Structure 1
């Protein structure tokens, strides 16, 4: 069985597939409900590798020390299950992050995105790692590299534009950041990361009244 982008999902059934797609869509908008939906996904199929992977990422990217044991348990569950190449690379990145090797985790996700450019979870997790490590160039270029592989017809395109907008803003390209961020919001008004990117632009340019509005 495959996900919404055509990538193979190990240990999946139709109910779990629908729930995983929902959880990923929620995470793209940074909705708190993504965690509960992910846990429902794993109830529907405890053998779903990407369900455990997403669960681990949700906890790890929160950067709370108390979340580490939960993320490690999810990682270990997934590691024991059969998994394909894409899933194995997510697990490798999780392993690096669990061990505190942030830059190494980011590089694993960078390579993953080159071979699987529609894996939005890898792109989101990668940009979060770039953010935490202060790598402004990679905040932009990690996303810029896969832009030619995407189109409006693909699920989650708004999130790609929102990620790109944030990377552009962090590199000081406020004009393009504003453009891509607003395009993302037009496609998905609930895209909190795109909203965040545009808010940064308005702040950096001193456009106070627009920011308040």
Structure 2
């Protein structure tokens, strides 16, 4: 099979230049959180013999982080395994990493992505995939180490700086994170992940005015983004509005920018759940919005793809008063904790299940139960994944439960039983 090379100089085993061009476009779409990554599927149909291309097509569905996504990824990953044996080592390892993700072995997937990153540090798409897994398991130190190791080999790309900026912020190195993030945006104004990293820094510093001043002029660049990145950067803008006690503006952003772009996508659902809850914690009457969110998270009751995601689904169901659905989901999570892989069993049984009980209790006004359950796991919640800003929500629910036990009136009528 002929060998061609991608934009980073890596060999791709394919007979057609169109395949490499499609992989290059896909790579840039993923790195820039664009909304045209799905164009790769047509290329995958046209070149079924390129294992790397088939694996990337599978990744498109793995990004959904749903049971249906896993099912849709499977044929592409099966095809990739079948045809990749004569390809280069990097291609074989990439197929193996994505196949591990597709078969429910994210720990093995991350190990393989690390191996690729050390041998081919200019493979920025691989670094992005590794960062997804590191974020999902709270591996902040590992995220920083991998991004720092890659930077000297891809420093001409804003995306390398943006991924480094995010990793540094997650690890608590705020000054270095801001420097890297602003450098990335200076190189490429359309790098939303770098913008997002700087927003994280400004939020960590409790500088909402600075956050809005930074994000505002850049918000027009988000129209080309995937729904996750579009809604997530607007989510950050809404958090800055809340920090300025402008709840009306934050609620308006929820309606116009955060919820409603792609209601079936799990990351958009996570953005919506945490923002709606934070609005309520500020005393905002959100009307019937929980019911709408619950309708769209309902199909996720039995997914078990990610405990961090499950906690958001559960809270939305409970907050909407869907008690039977919430109970079914909590029972399913408990059952999964028993059969989870050895690598994740402790995470599920010792952290996710108590957290789920606490969130469900808070949503239904059982504040003593919520405070006890959440307080027991807060120091380890980061192991469930999510960014530092996203993890703050759990702390806020815990503190709200404690406050409402100690004082009256409550934020919501009858919330504390």
Give the superposition deviation at 1:56.
1.8
Query: Following superposition of structure 1 onto structure 2, how do residues 23-34 of structure 1 map, counting pairs within 5 Å?
Result: 23-34=26-37
* CA distances 1:132-158 after superposition (whole Å, capped 9, x unpaired): 011111121111112222332xxxx11
Q: Aligned match of 2:114 in 110, 115, 126?
A: 110
SS at structure 1 position matched to 2:11: coil
2:83 corresponds in structure 1 to 81
Q: Give the distance between the partners of 1:47 and 1:100, measured in 2 at CA.
A: 25
Give the superposition deviation at 1:76.
0.7
Q: Aligned match of 1:151 in 146, 151, 155?
A: 155
Q: Give the distance between the partners of 1:192 and 1:12, measured in 2 at CA.
A: 34
Following TM superposition, the consecutive aligned residue runs of length 4 or more in structure 1 with deviations greater than 3 angstroms are none
Q: Give the distance between the partners of 1:198 and 1:175, measured in 2 at CA.
A: 10
1:49 corresponds in structure 2 to 51
SS at structure 2 position matched to 1:9: strand
**Is the 8 Å Cα contact of residues 42 and 52 (structure 1) preserved in structure 2?**
yes
Q: Note the aligned Cα RMSD (angstroms).
A: 1.5
Per the normalisation by structure 1, the TM-score is: 0.92
2:41 corresponds to 1:39: yes
Give the superposition deviation at 1:47.
2.2
Q: Give the distance between the partners of 1:117 and 1:209, measured in 2 at CA.
A: 37
2:95 corresponds to 1:94: no
Give the superposition deviation at 1:26.
1.1
Q: Give the distance between the partners of 1:212 and 1:147, measured in 2 at CA.
A: 28
* CA distances 1:120-174 after superposition (whole Å, capped 9, x unpaired): 121000000000011111121111112222332xxxx111111100000001111
1:5 corresponds in structure 2 to 8
Measured at CA, do residues 199 and 190 of structure 1 come closer, stay the same or move farther in structure 2, by a change above 3 Å?
same
2:144 corresponds in structure 1 to 140
Measured at CA, do residues 188 and 43 of structure 1 come closer, stay the same or move farther in structure 2, by a change above 3 Å?
farther
Query: Larger C-alpha radius of gyration, 1 or 2?
Result: 2
Deviates more, 1:57-66 or 1:17-26: 57-66
Give the superposition deviation at 1:14.
1.5
Gaps of 5+ in 2: 214-417
Give the superposition deviation at 1:43.
4.0
2:212 corresponds to 1:212: yes
Deviates more, 1:112-121 or 1:9-18: 9-18
Measured at CA, do residues 180 and 12 of structure 1 come closer, stay the same or move farther in structure 2, by a change above 3 Å?
farther
Per the normalisation by structure 2, the TM-score is: 0.48
